[in-house]
Amino acid sequence: MAYASKELIEHMARTTNRRGHTIGDMVLELQAARDYIDDPPPPPRDFHGDPDEYRELEVYAVQCSVQAIIAELERRKRLQYDLKTNPDNEIVQTLKERIPIADVVEWFTEVYYSNRDRLKFRCPLHSDSHPSGIIYAKEGRWHCFQCNEHGDIFDAVSKFGRTDFPHAVARLARHIGIDTKPLRRKPNTHKGGVPL
C-alpha cells in the first residue's frame, strides 16, 4: 500500500494556515497531539497494510503539526513583542517633528499661503473648485471641510497618495534622508531565548 511521503506530510503541516486560529484552539490542538503521540490509535478496520508503518506515519504527521503550531505561537509572541518595542515609533516621532504638514500636502496639491498658521488647499480626494481644505501648521494637521477627511503627514501621504501606512513612513523618511532599516533592532534575549 502506498503512503504519503514524510516530505509531503511535513510540507502539508508547515503550509497549513493557522493564522485564523485562536491561541486557545492551538493549545487544545497541542494537548490532543500529545495524547495522540503517547497512545496512537490502531489503524482503521478497513486498512490493509503494515500497522506499524501506519502508526509511524500518523505519529510523524502529528509531530509535524505540533512543530507548525509551536512555530505559529512563537511568531505571534515575537509579533506581540515587536509591537510593544517597535522602533518605528521613534521614526514616526522624528518625521512628525521634522516635516512640516504644509510641505507634505504641497506634494499632492497647491497650498495657498494666506495666513501663516492656517493655510488653504484644494483637496485632491475630490473635485474641489475652491480650497475646501485647511492646514493647521502649528498642530501638524489638515482637514477638508467638503469630504470631512483629515489627519497628519502620514494620513496625507496615505490618502492623497493612495498608499498604506508603511509606504507613507518610507516615503517621508526618504524625503529627509532617514534610513529606516538601522533602527530596526532584534529583541534583547538572554540564554533562555526569552525577551528581556
Quick check: helix, strand or coil at residue 159?
Answer: helix
Q: How far apart are CA 110 and CA 121, in angstroms?
A: 6
Q: How confident is the model at residue 182 (pLDDT cuts 50, 70, 90)?
A: very low
The tens digit of pLDDT for each residue in 5-61 reads: 777 777 777 777 776 677 777 777 888 888 888 887 788 777 777 888 878 888 888
Q: Where in the chain is the domain with CATH 3.90.580.10?
A: 88-183
> H or E stretch including 63?
helix 51-84
The tens digit of pLDDT for each residue in 91-113 reads: 777 888 889 999 999 999 999 88
Q: How far apart are CA 47 and CA 60, in angstroms?
A: 18
Which listed CATH number (3.90.580.10, 3.40.50.450, 3.10.690.10, 3.10.129.10) goes with 88-183? 3.90.580.10
pTM of the model: 0.49
